[in-house]
Structure 1
Amino acid sequence: MSEVVTYQREGAVGVITVNYPPVNALGHAVRSGLLAALEQGQQDAEAKALLLVCEGRTFIAGADIREFGKPMQEPGLPSVVEAFESSDKPIIAAIHGTALGGGLEMALGCHYRVALESARVGLPEVKLGLLPGAGGTQRLPRLAGAQVSLDMITSGNFASAAEALQDGIVDAVESGDDVKAVGLAFAQKVIDEGKPVRRVRDLNDKVEAEKGSGIFDQYRAGLQKKACGLFSPFKCVDAVEAAFQLPFTDGMKRERELFMECMESPQRAGLVHAFFAEREVSKVPGLPKDTPVRDVNTVGIIGAGTMGGGIAMNFANVGIPVRLLEVKQEALDKGLAIIRRNYENTARKGRITQAQVEERMALIQPTLSYDDFADVDLVIEAVFENMGVKKEIFGTLDKVCKPGAILASNTSTLDIDEIASATSRPQDVVGMHFFSPANVMKLLENVCGSQTADDVKATVMAVAKRIKKVGVLVGNCYGFVGNRMLHQRGAEATKLVNEGASPQQVDKVLTDLGFPMGQFAMSDLAGIDVGYRIREERRKAGEDVPASWMDKLAEEGRLGQKTQAGVYLYEEGSRKPVVDPKVDALIAEFRKEQGIEPREISDQEILERCMYVMINEGAKILEEGIAARALDVDIVWIYGYGFPAYRGGPMFWADQVGVKEIYDTVKRFHDTLGGDQWKPAALLERLAGEGKTFGSL
């Protein structure tokens, strides 16, 4: 008998218990153990019903990620599920925690399902570029019908126990926290009432009722918008449709064929890389796991604008009190009103209650005085990008804040060491770069200066997790990781327009690659003035920043979506960019002033110049140790800049394209276009010469 799966009879119920911490994942030992325990239960003449239950904090939460990328050892999950479903004794699955992926498929192979009120179920395989491969696409529709199955499988979202009961996925929901007791009671009821074995594969009422309904074509049409460019959601629809077109056995074969198509898709590789990278990024090289963290029980935030207000919401959302500072009452009132409006909108959508709105607002205490920061544990400055202003603020914080308070800047580009120089405690100074809108975007780029203490680094990474962000620890340089690469792409995109491309052509190449928006639409969203101020700061610092038609837009007050005019026009209440002939004329005038004769530029050149300049800069970032690993760069770009997760991030994508091909092209651009941005990074050159990848570092 397997150590991770045991069999024991309690009264007339044979109990099969999985105990494979931390999440009872379906590794080889569990799969083998389940079959052995099932056989024991079948042979136990005193057992009138069998109960599948799990120890620990959850039911089976899916596949064992330790087996990802390795050949599957028999028995495979489909055969285990089939064996349970074929049992001639009723089997009841008792669900607590989460039943996800293969865990839910195991439960669907049982004849009855009972869940605790706190349980959740789901089939999230699509998030890894896959589809359920152990009968999930064939059994779920027989219980829940087409619409629920399509929604759950193509989104990968979870359903609560109450929703699962309503949809027919589980047969009962019980209160309490003793899942085994609940399962035993349900199993005894099955025995006492003489309930028959009820195999999901034999339930055809819902399948027959929805045959030929046209729902699948409608669903595919909807996915063209919300899953554009993705592979597996459409294969999920094909698999669910098979449940309505084919006998169960043939439907299972079709599911397996489609599953293998997903397995062979490059998107699956990208999504699996992103999945593991997100988990690995919190393990910071060189920072011991046992590094102590400082207590963060109260937070001060400077600036009640869009960014500061969004940051405040992150902390209030998890119950951490915030003191929000502004220099004028009017600005403070406006910021609080926007925060309340955001919460009210969320409540209207049913995501939080009105009581939660009031609870969260009560946690955000407005102030006009730095003295109210005297006892906070963490201060985050979120004012505009001006070094003089930031240094003045940090000088004040140094005088006001208690010893050991962490002083953080939300700067997106500026030197953390120079900011820290305004204080007597550079060890306590760190960057915490949130992304707009800060209450929505998942990335938190934590930036350590040369003197930032290890416990401060560990603390800001722990804070990221606490406020439900994906934290990445990076080094200090202009623009850090994300903006340093973005600014190279932005400069190249602008040059391409200077030379003859249109902004919409450049943007389309990027959206065709999978970005949610192109370079210029993103500039409009962020605000044209943001980039303009950054360029002006660099010019003041003596850098040679060339003139740009983007500067002319800012100087004319075309600041993007907030003024309904930037690179594009925006109608009232719409975020859809509309081409503006005035901008075409402005660009044409700029070319004339600069003596540029426009030429036709291919989409391929746009792709190479916009993306390869980023890869070259990413290689320099890795060389310099600003990012410790290629996966850190990938996660910054996936969660901060909309890089399509199915392409795995820029450095993973570069490996897929071929490091040698990118190096050769970068070298060619350096020879033809010139500029330091096209000087091949030493790391890129070395990897190309050695036939290695960024992933091999």
Structure 2
Amino acid sequence: MNEMSRVTAISTYAVADGIAILTIDSPPVNALGHAVRVALEAGLRRAVADADAHGIVIHCAGRTFFAGADISEFGKPLQQPDLNAVFDLIEASTKPVVAAIHGTALGGGMELALACHYRVATSSAKLGLPEVSLGLLPGAGGTQRVPRLVGIEKALTLIVGGRPIGATKALADGLIDRIVEGDLLPGAILYAQQLIARGEPLRRVRDLAVDLDATATREALERFRATHKRDLQGFKAPGLILQAIEAAATLTFDEGLAREWALFEELVDSQESIAQRHLFFAERTAGKIPIERGVQPLTVERVAVIGAGTMGTGIAMVFLNAGYPVFLVDKAGDAAERGAARIHKTFGDLADKGRISPEEGMRRVGLLRIGSSLEDAVSGADLVVEAIFESMALKQAIFKEIDAVAKAGAILASNTSFLDLDEIAAVTARPDQVIGLHFFAPANIMRLLEVVRGARTSDAVIATGMSLGRRLGKVAVLSGVCDGFIANRVMKPRMEAAEALVLEGPTPSEIDRAMNRYGFAMGPFQMFDLVGLDVIGWDRDNSAGRTVQEVLCEMGRWGQKKNGGYYDYDEQRRAAPSPVAEQVIREFAARANVPQQAFDDAQIVERLLYPVVNEGAKVVEEGIALRASDVDIALATGYGWPVWTGGPMCWADRIGLPRIVDSLDAMIGPDSVSPLLRRLAAEGGRLTS
């Protein structure tokens, strides 16, 4: 190799055995921002002009190939060269250009690789076009080149689905040309030399034909729309991606590029994409927490989970999935055995569906121990997670026992949903090592993890909780101590508003329908019936028909499990409006002298969701949530708040805070409106600023 020289501050150039090597080093992920594009352009021009270079390898230093575009540039005037200008240089090269891929080639990074004549990758590399998750489409030829390389139907799955694929599948599908075993760069150089020796053509993806004609493409698109109708509902980007892919089959390449860019610009300015990008940044911002500089997470190698009920077994699976040895303990009879059986079945089902290999399922199961002795489970654990019944007395009693047998330095965590963590910590001799780890049910599926900081929880323990969340594949959001923490507290007003509104005229199905049309998978009454009316705050010993819920519970209408709650259910648990429940509601309303009136969907949305915005502003004002975006990401990942709205706070900014405050004044009274919300409305401010 000749001496390496610097092209720009973030790129180097060298020639080895007749192959030019252009290396980009722009930490942390070599995002394709302006400086990187300038470096690529300069390096490519030098390589094309270099008489000693007969081929070119584009390579990245650090942990990854180009991981995507620089999202911070979206919505701003684009500085030249843009990606298409760089791609034009690659495709016009008279020397074969090989992309050497490691880590991830995502978004613009994958589009750059597609513009190269050939692509090689390490076996661990992943490739994908995930723009759809930001409410966007690939804007640098991805929707035009992928169909030409892998076909229309595989392109639909890759681009509309947005999930990256591994190198093995990428090779099988034709996205890459070779997997390099061993060192990537020497392998890429060797491959380029072999291409030259064999006289292989400069294969430009843009010149390949799409596998389907225009008619067959449209038929494939219609099948895809029909099959994925529910998944695409509410999102704008998938529909425009389908239009761009159709252009690949019906227009010339350059016309398709122009169509793709027009659709991309439409999405960049759309409310849906703005909302989805807000949540993208919210998820990353949530990890920025106020702790002392230099504090590092503690080491966690072994975990004990106390309580083998539904929640405890779900939490155990979360840790097993991440490779932690787990001791699941429950004092109640054979509860631990039943919990282990559920875990075995879940992993077996995942293997049967092809989600994991049978070997991986067995590996995870092999990390599990069970028993009924608290001391056996806790004494060797670095982290103890309590997941027992939601009772302060019970939790305090179990924490006293845990504190007595846990080793020094062990973190004691509660999965409490509503209870005061400081009261729980107070019964231990180590309140600085007590933390809340509130998983959302089902714990092994839901992404949200609320990391609850007590008054005396140490910074090191907080850092550990947040770090654990990331390792467990969760979205970790830091919360202060209050009733319900962030997500449950902020969503509680929706439940209360629904229970009040149903007395004023709308039926449960009308209220749920308005929430479904807004974008929630379930409305409040559908959720009540699913969870069970008997477990949502019903005290059977003191029940006296004071609310509709109490009356229904006293009638034995506990929801789906009893074939009746707010809805009636058949043997397949299909819901139908219940004349019985509606009669109970109307009779209750009559006794309470509640006036009846009709409400449209927009009015129902206001009544149920404006109070959520108000409560979200309060938790920010009180410091329970660090920022409004934490509220948004918590509700999007914990309660299924529709992501194309950006969460309640982002949505409120779009609706207009003055309008919301005026409605809340009439709805709940001026004294109940968040002072922060009122101040921002008066100043023209935004919750998410």
Q: TM-score range by the shorter chain?
A: over 0.9
In 2 relative to 1, CA 71–205 (structure 1 residues): closer, same or farther, beyond 3 Å? closer
- Matched-pair identity in %: 45
Residue in 2 that maps onto 1:442: 447
Q: Distance in 1 between matches of 2:14 and 2:212?
A: 37
Shift of 1:192: 0.4
Residue in 2 that maps onto 1:10: 16
Number of residue pairs matched by the alignment: 682
Amino acid at match of 2:49: Q
Residue in 2 that maps onto 1:316: 320
Give the 3-state SS of the residue equivalent to 2:228 in structure 1: helix
In 2 relative to 1, CA 109–301 (structure 1 residues): closer, same or farther, beyond 3 Å? same
Deviations along 1:666-685, whole A, 9 cap, x unmatched? Answer: 112234xx8x7xx1111111
1:495 to 485, 494, 500: 500
- Asked whether 1:378 is paired with 2:383, we answer yes
Residue in 2 that maps onto 1:35: 41
Comparing 420-429 with 373-382, which one deviates more in the overlay?
Answer: 420-429
Residue in 2 that maps onto 1:462: 467
Shift of 1:215: 0.6
Deviations along 1:177-235, whole A, 9 cap, x unmatched? Answer: x1111111110010100111111111115244974561112222233211101000110
Residue in 1 that maps onto 2:567: 568
Shift of 1:552: 2.9
Give the 3-state SS of the residue equivalent to 2:688 in structure 1: helix
- Asked whether 1:559 is paired with 2:558, we answer yes
Q: Distance in 2 between matches of 1:71 and 1:209?
A: 35
Q: Distance in 1 between matches of 2:306 and 2:540?
A: 23
In 2 relative to 1, CA 434–546 (structure 1 residues): closer, same or farther, beyond 3 Å? farther
Q: Distance in 1 between matches of 2:260 and 2:210?
A: 21
Q: Distance in 1 between matches of 2:561 and 2:409?
A: 39
Alignment of 1:475-490 (within 5 A): 475-490=480-495
Alignment of 1:503-652 (within 5 A): 503-533=508-538, 547-572=546-571, 576-652=574-650
Residue pair 1:114, 1:174 contacting (<8 A) in 2 also: yes
In 2 relative to 1, CA 399–536 (structure 1 residues): closer, same or farther, beyond 3 Å? farther
Deviations along 1:298-344, whole A, 9 cap, x unmatched? Answer: 11111111110000001111121111111223322221111111111
Q: Distance in 2 between matches of 1:71 and 1:567?
A: 53
Q: CA RMSD in A?
A: 2.1
Q: Distance in 2 between matches of 1:486 and 1:218?
A: 37
In 2 relative to 1, CA 571–47 (structure 1 residues): closer, same or farther, beyond 3 Å? farther
Residue pair 1:130, 1:259 contacting (<8 A) in 2 also: yes
Amino acid at match of 2:565: G
Shift of 1:175: 1.9
In 2 relative to 1, CA 212–205 (structure 1 residues): closer, same or farther, beyond 3 Å? closer
Q: Distance in 2 between matches of 1:408 and 1:557?
A: 36
Residue pair 2:214, 2:246 contacting (<8 A) in 1 also: no
In 2 relative to 1, CA 288–68 (structure 1 residues): closer, same or farther, beyond 3 Å? farther
Residue pair 2:314, 2:443 contacting (<8 A) in 1 also: yes
Residue pair 1:211, 1:245 contacting (<8 A) in 2 also: no
2:102 to 96, 105, 125: 96
Amino acid at match of 1:352: I
TM-score, normalisation: structure 2: 0.95
Comparing 487-496 with 662-671, which one deviates more in the overlay?
Answer: 662-671
Deviations along 1:118-146, whole A, 9 cap, x unmatched? Answer: 11110011111100000000011001000
Q: Distance in 2 between matches of 1:155 and 1:343?
A: 24
Shift of 1:282: 0.7
Residue pair 1:100, 1:124 contacting (<8 A) in 2 also: yes
Residue in 1 that maps onto 2:411: 406
Shift of 1:90: 1.4
Shift of 1:546: 10
Give the 3-state SS of the residue equivalent to 2:226 in structure 1: helix
Deviations along 1:231-285, whole A, 9 cap, x unmatched? Answer: 001100100010001111111111011111111110111111111110110111x
Q: Distance in 2 between matches of 1:301 and 1:556?
A: 37
Give the 3-state SS of the residue equivalent to 1:132 in structure 2: coil
Alignment of 1:308-457 (within 5 A): 308-372=312-376, 373-457=378-462
Q: Distance in 2 between matches of 1:579 and 1:220?
A: 30
1:116 to 113, 122, 129: 122
Residue pair 1:53, 1:179 contacting (<8 A) in 2 also: no
In 2 relative to 1, CA 360–53 (structure 1 residues): closer, same or farther, beyond 3 Å? same
In 2 relative to 1, CA 95–586 (structure 1 residues): closer, same or farther, beyond 3 Å? same
Give the 3-state SS of the residue equivalent to 1:694 in structure 2: coil
Amino acid at match of 1:288: E
Residue pair 1:210, 1:244 contacting (<8 A) in 2 also: no
- Asked whether 1:690 is paired with 2:688, we answer no
2:30 to 18, 24, 33: 24
Amino acid at match of 1:195: E
Q: Distance in 1 between matches of 2:383 and 2:418?
A: 21
Shift of 1:594: 3.0
Q: Distance in 2 between matches of 1:592 and 1:554?
A: 20
Q: Distance in 1 between matches of 2:58 and 2:156?
A: 27
Shift of 1:628: 1.3
In 2 relative to 1, CA 101–560 (structure 1 residues): closer, same or farther, beyond 3 Å? same
Residue pair 2:380, 2:406 contacting (<8 A) in 1 also: yes
Q: Distance in 1 between matches of 2:217 and 2:275?
A: 35
Amino acid at match of 2:481: N
Shift of 1:578: 3.1
- Asked whether 1:158 is paired with 2:168, we answer no
In 2 relative to 1, CA 297–129 (structure 1 residues): closer, same or farther, beyond 3 Å? same
Residue in 2 that maps onto 1:270: 275
Amino acid at match of 1:520: F
Residue pair 2:304, 2:384 contacting (<8 A) in 1 also: yes
In 2 relative to 1, CA 12–562 (structure 1 residues): closer, same or farther, beyond 3 Å? farther
Residue in 1 that maps onto 2:3: none
Amino acid at match of 1:295: T
1:301 to 296, 302, 305: 305
Give the 3-state SS of the residue equivalent to 2:230 in structure 1: helix
TM-score, normalisation: structure 1: 0.94
Residue pair 2:276, 2:646 contacting (<8 A) in 1 also: yes
Residue in 2 that maps onto 1:57: 63
Amino acid at match of 1:329: G
Deviations along 1:603-651, whole A, 9 cap, x unmatched? Answer: 2221111111011111111111111111111111011010112211111
Residue pair 2:331, 2:374 contacting (<8 A) in 1 also: no
Amino acid at match of 2:621: E
Q: Which runs of 5+ in 1 are unaligned?
A: none
Residue pair 2:218, 2:246 contacting (<8 A) in 1 also: no
Alignment of 1:92-241 (within 5 A): 92-176=98-182, 178-204=183-209, 206-208=211-213, 211-212=216-217, 214-241=219-246
In 2 relative to 1, CA 118–572 (structure 1 residues): closer, same or farther, beyond 3 Å? farther
